[in-house]
Amino acid sequence: MAEKISFKSMRETFQDKSIVSFLNDAYGIGNSRGTKEQYRHTLISFNRFCLERYQKDLVVLVSSLQGRPLEEALDVFKEFKRHLDVKINLFGNPVSNGTKRLQIGIIKKYFRSRGIKIHQDDITDCITIGRKMRVKKYPLTPEMISKIIDELPRFDHKALTILLASTGMRKGEAVALRVSDFDFTSHPSSIHINAPSTKIKQDRIVYLTKECSEMFEQLINKKSEKQRFLFGRSNNPLQIYETYSKALRRALIRMGMYKVLANGFGQITVHSFRQFFRTYAGHLIGRDFAESFIGHSFYLSEYENMPEEERRRIFLKLEPHMTFLEPKIRKLQKNPEVIELQRQLNDLQGKVKILAYKFLAEPNSCSYL
């Protein structure tokens, strides 16, 4: 009988200086907690693989490969790739090619941080990963977003949903908002998104619809002084996002709209609200405005320099289409006063046409010429 091998606990492994330093460097890439967590989860997955396949944790395994031929390190990558090929994710689906490519890239960086200089060409020569699968997500509509908002039990989650759908903010930008970022004295109300919390490290101003502004005024008035952020009591934006994401998933399940696509992602996710805003704003207003408003860089974006007054005016034109709880444009058209004004306008246009026809029909109507 083989002797049982004693392993370090996961906690002890991840207290190793090489891993602590590697994860801190990952955070420094974009000052992003999400990036650091992504790297950490990848190392956890790789560590479990190392324990199962080699009976060593990742720190010991990589140490044993230092100074050895590069082919031995590449053999580990080949085995890890085979492991990912048969692995099933949390949703019961195979690991996507995009995830395989991402995790192998992170492991390669860790090897390089330990002095094993593996290049991307070395990985490409020995490992073949198929194309990244692109599956079309479910296209949201204003009516569907209204139903999702109604299904969410917590008021702060309703407000967060409206904020994401009506501004196109990134989830990381939204969950890290503080009271000082809001300006309710302007028209429309606005939020100043600070550069450190954005993906491309550029600050910008986004405007709020009337219903979104009113909901956040209520939310801020009810906020406890002990709360650092607006959504829940946690001081960790990542935990706030995970709580909201789970609440959204439960709401979609109750609505019968939760479905996992072939790529392992849900057909409706938190990111779907950003896609909704970009799609509608791009078609109703224009691509450049939509890209600039959601914080994207685009072709010749360095020349885009619209005055804030003009941006406000354009957003107010878009506002009715980004309203989910108050009456929509199509409902306003059924207002009796609007219908009466439309009827009067049609009557006037008809009379003008009749007068113009009579004028042109008279033989002396052009005698002055």
- Do residue 335 and residue 236 come from a single domain? no
209 and 148 together in one domain: yes
Q: How many domains does the chain have?
A: 3
Is residue 42 helix, strand or coil?
helix
Cα 39 to Cα 20: distance, rounded to the nearest angstrom:
11
Here the tokens at position 254 are 């109750």
Is 137 part of any domain? no
Query: How many residues are there in the chain?
Result: 369
pLDDT of 333 reads: 44
Together in a domain, 224 and 249: yes
Question: In the listed set 71, 96, 126, which residue is the last one of a domain according to the structure?
Answer: 126
In this predicted structure, what is the pLDDT of residue 318?
A: 92
What pLDDT shows up at residue 368? Answer: 43
Q: Where are the alpha helices (DSSP H) in the chain?
A: 10-13, 17-30, 33-54, 58-65, 70-86, 97-113, 120-126, 142-151, 155-167, 171-175, 210-222, 237-254, 271-284, 287-293, 308-318, 329-332, 336-361
Residues 322 and 343 in one domain: no
pTM for this model (two decimals): 0.70
Same domain, 241 and 276: yes
My answer on whether 84 and 177 are in the same domain is no
> Does residue 163 sit in the same domain as residue 260?
yes
Q: Which residues of the chain have pLDDT under 70?
A: 1-8, 28-32, 91-92, 200, 299-303, 326-340, 343, 350, 353-354, 356-369
> What domain range includes position 347?
331-362
Is 135 among the domain residues? no
234 & 108 share domain: no
> Is residue 24 located within the same domain as residue 173?
no
- Domain match, 122 and 172 both: no
Do 81 and 183 fall within a single domain? no
- The per-residue pLDDT for 337 is 67
> φ, ψ for residue 286 (rounded to 5)?
155, 155
Same domain membership, residue 301 and residue 184: yes
Residue with tokens 């246009």, as numbered in its chain: 349
Whether 136 is covered by a domain: the verdict is no
| Residue 183: per-residue pLDDT | 93
